[in-house]
Amino acid sequence: MITIREAVKTYKGSDDPALKSISLQVERGEFVFLVGASGSGKSTLMRMVLREDVPNQGSIHVLGEDLINLASRRVPIFRRRLGVVFQDFRLLPQKNVYENVAYSSRVIGKSRGFIETAVPDVLSLVGLSEKAKRMPSELSGGEQQRVAVARAIVNKPDILLADEPTGNLDPNTSGEIMDLLERINLGGTTVLMATHDRGIVDRLKKRVVELSNGEIIRDEIAAGYREFDTGQIPKADSE
């Protein structure tokens, strides 16, 4: 699914690389937490997988595509096989729930027939069938994030990228979102989720990849959220 070999990324105007020789292998159907402090390179890694940026050295293959040598006109076609969810939801405020979800199908030219069956399907999957006609401003944060998840998966992506999807949510709502992501993962979609949420990581016992200063310092199966030698006070379980 995702194969990264010795990828180095240095941004212009910075001597310190954002990623220092990262190697990572993610298989189909895996659920991977990406943890680490701000500036550890999580976002950079996510951007690489989305092909918003490419490494200066090394290689990255996602869904069988060599992203460094992928022609820019093929990038949109590649991205159709990925779904993305963000901390700040990024819904279109002037469109209702149904239209927000349908939008991502419409812009890639899906047929009316596809949209009319797929959109109600994902809305019922995320539990928002009743609120299809509501505007985003009328929804709670958790509901808005569920709309964003529905939008990310309506085109049936192979990989779901989630960049701190629970960052703006309270613990209960976060739990709902995580249940949803787990269900999507059980359906066969690979999930790569960057997070700071210790409670979630500890509870779900999934594979954890920890980044620090642009390096992978830990890659464990069924692990918890531990940051070695950071001197942080262990946070009480939030639930």
* Residue 82 within binding range of another protein, rule CB under 8 A: yes
Contact predicate 211/183, CB 8 Å: no
Closer by beta carbon to another protein, 112 or else 235: 112
Of the ranges 15-23, 31-39, 86-94, 120-128, which one interacts with another protein (CB under 8 A)?
86-94
Residue whose token pair is 């690489």: 48
Find the binder of another protein among 11, 28, 66, 92 (CB under 8 A).
Answer: 92
Give the whole-angstrom CA distance, residue 207 versus residue 186. Answer: 15
Rounded Cα distance, 168 and 173, in Å:
10
Amino acid at 188: G
- CB nearer another protein, residue 76 or residue 188: 76
Could you tell me which of 78, 155, 80, 159 has the C-alpha nearest to residue 114? 155
**Using CB under 8 A, which of the segments 70-78, 164-172, 197-205, 214-222 binds another protein?**
70-78
Q: How far is the CB of 110 from another protein (least distance, A)?
A: 9
Applying CB under 8 A, the span of 12-20, 26-34, 76-84, 173-181 interacting with another protein comes to 76-84
Binding to another protein, residues 109-138 (CB under 8 A) = 109, 111-112
Q: Which amino acid is at 155?
A: N
Q: Please report whether residue 206 would count as binding another protein according to CB under 8 A.
A: no
In 3D, which of 125, 89, 119 has the Cα closest to residue 104? 119
**Does the protein bind another protein through residue 2 (CB under 8 A)?**
no
The pairing of strands 82-86 and 159-163 is: parallel
DSSP secondary structure string for all residues of 93-155: TTS-HHHHHHHHHHTTT--HHHHHHHHHHHHHHTT-GGGTTS-GGGS-HHHHHHHHHHHHHTT
**Binding of residue 84 to another protein (CB under 8 A):** yes
Q: Which of 6, 23, 76, 237 binds another protein (CB under 8 A)?
A: 76
77 binds another protein (CB under 8 A): yes
Q: Is the Cβ of residue 80 or residue 226 nearer to another protein in the bound state?
A: 80
Tokens 């009316």 belong to 112
The residue among 107 and 186 lying less far from another protein, judged by its C-beta, is 107
Please report, as ranges, the residues that interact with another protein according to CB under 8 A.
50, 73, 75-82, 84, 90, 92-93, 103-104, 106-109, 111-112, 151, 155
